[in-house]
């Protein structure tokens, strides 16, 4: 019985680690996309400002 409990805990620990790693990767990807979008918006605004001069 103890061996099964240890195997169960190890499996749950591995599952939790995989889920958390996936969430972290999703957060990082979202952050990168937002930064790229913000940079595009800044570049576009800068070009419009230069065109007005």
Domain assignments of the chain as residue spans, ordered by start: 20-53
Reported as a single tens digit per residue, the pLDDT across 1-48 is 899 999 999 999 999 999 999 999 999 999 999 999 999 988 888 888
Maximal CA-CA distance, the chain? 79
Closest CA to 18 of 8, 10, 30, 6: 10
State the alpha helices, DSSP H only, in the chain: 2-52
Say how far residue 35 (Cα) sits from the centre of its chain.
Answer: 12
Residue 42 CA to residue 53 CA, distance in Å, equals: 17
pTM recorded for the entire structure: 0.67
3 state DSSP class of 1: coil
């Amino acid at each position: 019985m103890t061996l099964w409990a240890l195997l169960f805990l190890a499996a749950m620990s591995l599952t939790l680690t995989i889920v958390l790693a996936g969430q972290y990767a999703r957060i990082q990807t979202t952050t990168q996309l937002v930064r790229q979008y913000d940079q595009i918006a800044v570049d576009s605004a800068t070009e419009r400002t230069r065109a007005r001069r």
